[in-house]
A and B are shown apart, each in its own frame.
Chain A
Amino acid sequence: MASSDETPGPMPPGDGSVPPGKSVSIGQHVIDKGAQLLQTLKPIKHMNQHVCTFAMYSHDMTRQIETHHYLSRVNQDFLQCAVYDSDDSNGRLIGVEYIISDRIFETLPAEEQKLWHTHEYEIIAGLWVNPRVPEMVQKPELKNLARTYGKFWCTWQVDRGDRLPLGVPALMMSPQGVNLGMVAPELVKKRDESYGISSKDLEEKRVDIAGPETTMNPYANYWMQTGKGFAIDVELTDMKKTAPFP
């Protein structure tokens, strides 16, 4: 039995690199180059937005991380994102987030809605940014995105020191304007400095994005109403098989 809120067992410290391992060999570079020339990698080319924001673990909201989302849009109401812990080429793939419009969200059953979070606060507070994109270019879409809901699973808890992706996926929540949802100022400061931006300035510019309070669904941001988060447990069971395994 293992759980997303359980600390994993120890691993050898190695040289401390995350992940550990030898550098990419010349042979591998050659193979990759060959593949790149011959393969079109269409779903990857379709990713067209980078968003930097923050998230916290739903089973422990005191653990907060800076996230780098690479979004691809499926239609006006749905985006899918690969999430990394940094924007440089060594960024570690830490999870996946799905973003849906409020219209689609309302069609989900309550049990499903509990796993989703809103984006309005983090956009209005200037926490959600599109690095390098001038604010006035971004602004029209922010109003749409402010009404979306997200579902974010984290598969690599780098912030707790995991040098490899250990354990079970964890559900993440989004920043909110109250208590456990407030992002630590030093985390925001560090992020703002690295991009030469100011979340406070953005917050002033985004004042007109706010929607009416009543649009927030009662099941999203589940912790706000209930004081509860979610963990995932893994159980061993009998596998339904068509042939021997392994």
Chain B
Amino acid sequence: MEGINVSKHVEVPGDPTKTGTAILETATATIQGFGPINKIHQHLCAFHFYGHDMTRQVEAHHFCGHQNEEFRQCLIYDRPDADGRLIGLEYIISEDLFLTLPDDEKKFWHSHLYEVKSGVLFMPGVPGPIQRQDHEKVAKTYGKVIHFWQVDRGDTLPLGIPQVMMALTRDGQLDQNLAQDVEKRFGVSFDEEREKRAYMEGPAHGIHPLANAAGKGIHTVLREVDCKPVESVPKVFV
């Protein structure tokens, strides 16, 4: 597994941005409103793995905004840089909201308790005492992650279909190469944080048995369907 999960930046195909395009986009950035984007206030780093394959693990940089106290929506990038690739998204909900989900839905959501208490989920650049105030809350939440771009297998473009991802739930799952690489790059120590977070508690009702897909693997498959209404679709004859 040496080096396999360590982040590598592969170039997205294409020409460098032209001057004219860049100039226009500087203008649009100034003139337009970015309402929903301006709500994004936090950067969280954590790890995800594919819902059917724990061996494929990805460093995930979340940029999150609160819709309300119990709901966050996050954009996920492979690196926290201006050229980071948008690889997926995550929704984070309180235990109360999780319990209102239909049972069939609960399997898509993973618990955050282990990620928080083990120290592997962190906010780059934010001092421990401030971070921990947030982590205390996150420890009780559930998340639903979808990835669209399988950067870990070297895809230079977002190919294929969405992947439901899962999160770490116990010791022994996280690839140590990946862990150490992240610790080094961000100057953090997961073990030190773990000690400081020992006091934190998880969901009041315990981790729900249907969460984390109840331990099963989740796999997505593409299916063709007939457009409706079928009769009215004109066939374009080439």
Please indicate whether A and B come from the same complex rather than being unrelated chains: yes
Question: Interface stretch among A120-128, A135-143, A183-191, A196-204?
Answer: A135-143
Contact B29 A49 (CB under 8 A): yes
Give the A-B pair count, Cβ closer than 8 A. Answer: 374
Chain B proximity of A140: nearest CB distance (Å): 6
Q: Which residue of B lies closest to A49 (CB)?
A: B28
Chain B residues with Cβ under 8 A from A137's Cβ? 24, 27
Q: Residues of A within 8 Å of B, CB-based: how many? A: 119
Chain A residues with Cβ under 8 A from B153's Cβ? none
The answer to whether the Cβ of B212 comes within 8 Å of any Cβ in the partner chain is yes
With A24-B66, A90-B67 already in contact, the answer to whether A50 and B17 are too (CB < 8 A) is: no
B164-184 residues with Cβ-Cβ distance < 8 A to A are 164, 166, 169-173, 175
With A48-B25, A93-B89 already in contact, the answer to whether A151 and B158 are too (CB < 8 A) is: yes
Give per-residue flags for B122-150: 1 if the beta carbon is below 8 A from chain A beta carbons, else 0. 01111100100110010000001010110
Q: Which residue of A lies closest to B110 (CB)?
A: A246
Chain A residues with Cβ under 8 A from B25's Cβ? 48-49, 73
Contact A245 B34 (CB under 8 A): no
Residues of B within 8 A of A (CB): 12-18, 20-21, 24-29, 31-43, 51-55, 61, 63, 66-71, 73, 75, 77, 80-86, 88-89, 91, 93-94, 96-97, 100-105, 107-108, 110-111, 123-127, 130, 133-134, 137, 144, 146, 148-149, 157-162, 164, 166, 169-173, 175, 207, 211-230, 232-236, 238
A sample of 6 cross-chain residue pairs with beta-carbon separation below 8 angstroms, ordered by A number, consists of A9-B103, A43-B82, A88-B35, A92-B73, A101-B14, A232-B222
